[in-house]
Amino acid sequence: MKEMFQRNLGYKAASLVLAILFWLWVTSQSPSQVLNPNETLTLSVVAKNLPANHVVMTKLPSVRVKLEGYNPSVNVNELYAYVDLADSIPGEHEYEVKMSPIPNITIKDISPSVIEVDIDTLEESIFPVSLELTGEPAEGSQLGKPIIRPESVNVRGPSRLLSQIDKVLVELNIARASQTVQMFLPVVFRDEDDLPIYGPDPSMEMITASPSSVEIIVPIVAKGMESKRIPLSASTVGNPAEGMEVRSITVLPDGAEVYGSEEDLAKVEVVSIGSVDIGGISKTTTFEVSSDRVSLPRGLTFASRMSFSVLVEVGPTIQEKTLYNVPITLRNIDPDLELKDPLPGISVTIKGYPEVLSDINSEKINIWLDAKGQKEGEHQGKFYWQLPSGVDMVSIPNVVYTLVPKEIPEDPEEPEEPSQ
């Protein structure tokens, strides 16, 4: 018998421990509470049908609800009262407390039956982000110019709370820091007394920012180093797909804070972050370049490791288009002269990007000749034109015209009066 008890003793002990743990877990769960006959409950009040641009500023109270009847399938933990705010307006107003019908249960009384609810409108505003530093860096180190990305955030919340915001900031302690500090930090809101801004219920977040956190870079460099914001440039290698061409190259950000001696910084006007390979691309593409790949002049350094974006705009190559029978006019003609024959329509060739040329016709360009100072006779005038943005003139024919004296119409003879 003793041998049977001791057989597989380890497995038996483990099973007992697991059974105890399972029993503890089951008893820790909140069981459903059955509704007793003719019970009076204390229920939370929730807001229903609140318009999207409204916010409840009141911490909604609990109410006492007297019920009559019996329904054992009802879980008390799932019951609640509510106020219908579908037609709510901003300000403090009274709203009736209601409950949804419960099968086989009569709602005899709700106390209080009316509660006061304070409603405000939701608004948005852009705020710059400031940085509040505390502490001093390590001995022999100094602070560079901090970088905040993004520099502003979109803040959303009740109008009366937004009106209290004096500044949006991030807080950072740099005590004894000996190298550049780079991290994401949440933004906080302060009023004109530098105090946090809360709604009626401090546990509820009523003001939000997008983004809610910003990247902070605080350069920590050796004492005596200077800084300078230097423009950035980039180049390309390779060729885009056939029929495409590079239209522009943009580096973002367009400049970076560089550290070094005053003498070394004075020698640099622009920093190239290198070349990006555009071989075969057929659409506008963004390339990421790490600062680790950038060769700075000797003696210079970035405040921290960062990333640059190179936006290469690619599109179809410039094309030509010929327009036919384009009307022309003659300006500044001598008032005593006129054209012998009307000016003919001409054919001109223009060039531009396909998406621009597709919408261009003869009615959208203006061409004229200038006859200023010209006398009677034959002339080959100089053309002038006005073209839509992004369009250039390729070729225009010569036009010969003749100026002749204006014909002065004869006055009609007055009829003779009949003799008496």
pLDDT at 12 over 70: no
**Number of domains making up the chain:** 4
Residue 420 within any structural domain of the chain: no
- Asked whether residue 330 falls in the same domain as residue 374, the answer is yes
Report, in angstroms and rounded to the nearest whole number, the Rg of the chain calculated over CA atoms.
41
Looking at residue 130, what DSSP letter applies?
Answer: E
Q: Give me the pLDDT at residue 279, please.
A: 95
Q: Are residues 246 and 187 in the same domain?
A: no
CA quadruple 203, 205, 211, 216: dihedral, nearest 10: -30
Distance separating alpha carbons of residues 262 and 271, to the nearest angstrom: 16
CB-CB contact of 155 with 208 (8 Å): yes
What is the total residue count of the chain?
A: 420
pLDDT at 298 over 70: yes
Q: Which residues pair with 185 in a beta bridge?
A: 214
In this structure, the answer to whether residues 365 and 341 fall within a common structural domain is: yes
The verdict on whether omega for the bond into residue 158 sits within 30 degrees of 0, i.e. cis, is: no
> Residue 364: inside a domain, yes or no?
yes
Say yes or no: 216 and 146 in one domain: yes
Residue 214 is assigned to a structural domain of this protein: yes
- pLDDT above 50: residue 124: yes
| DSSP H or E run through 10 | helix 9-28
| CA–CA separation, 349 and 399 (whole Å) | 15
Domain ranges, residue 268:
226-316
pLDDT reported for residue 30: 46
In a domain, 351, yes or no: yes
Residues 97, 117: Cα–Cα separation, whole Å: 11
Instruction: Return the CATH number at 312.
Output: 2.170.120.40
> What single-letter DSSP state applies at residue 8?
T
Shared domain for 303 and 285, answered yes or no, is yes
Question: Do 210 and 245 belong together in one domain?
Answer: no
Mark 277-313 as b/e (b = at least 16 C-beta within 10 Å).
ebeebeeeeebebebeebebeeebebbbebebebebe
Q: Are residues 340 and 392 in the same domain?
A: yes
Binning pLDDT at 50, 70 and 90, where does residue 204 land?
Answer: confident
Per the model's pLDDT, the better-predicted residue between 211 and 22 turns out to be 211
The per-residue pLDDT for 386 is 95
Q: State which of 66, 85, 120 marks the end of a domain.
A: 120
Q: Give which of 274, 252, 386, 406 is closest to 328, Cα–Cα.
A: 386
- Tell me which range, 32-36, 156-160, 221-225, 378-382, is most confidently predicted by mean pLDDT: 156-160
Q: Which CATH number goes with the domain that contains 80?
A: 2.170.120.30
